[in-house]
Amino acid sequence: MHARDVRLNELAQGLRPMSEGIAWFDALDALGAEEQSEVLLSLRHHCIQARALTEDADESIRRSGLRPTHTPAVLVSRGRIDVQLRKIAALTPLDERRKSFRLLVAVLAVADERRRERSCAGGCGHWWHRLPARTEARYG
Provide DSSP, 70-128: SHHHHHHTSS-HHHHHHHHHT--SHHHHHHHHHHHHHHHHHHHHHHHHHTSTT----GG
CB atoms < 10 A from the CB of 33, how many? 13
Give the pLDDT score at 31.
73
Per-residue pLDDT reduced to its tens digit, 84-96:
999 999 998 888 9
Predicted TM-score of the model (pTM): 0.87
Give the pLDDT score at 92.
87
Q: Which residues contact 20 (CB under 8 A, 6 or more apart)?
A: 11
Domain ranges for the chain, please list them.
Answer: 3-118
Q: Which residues does the chain have with pLDDT short of 50?
A: 127, 135-140
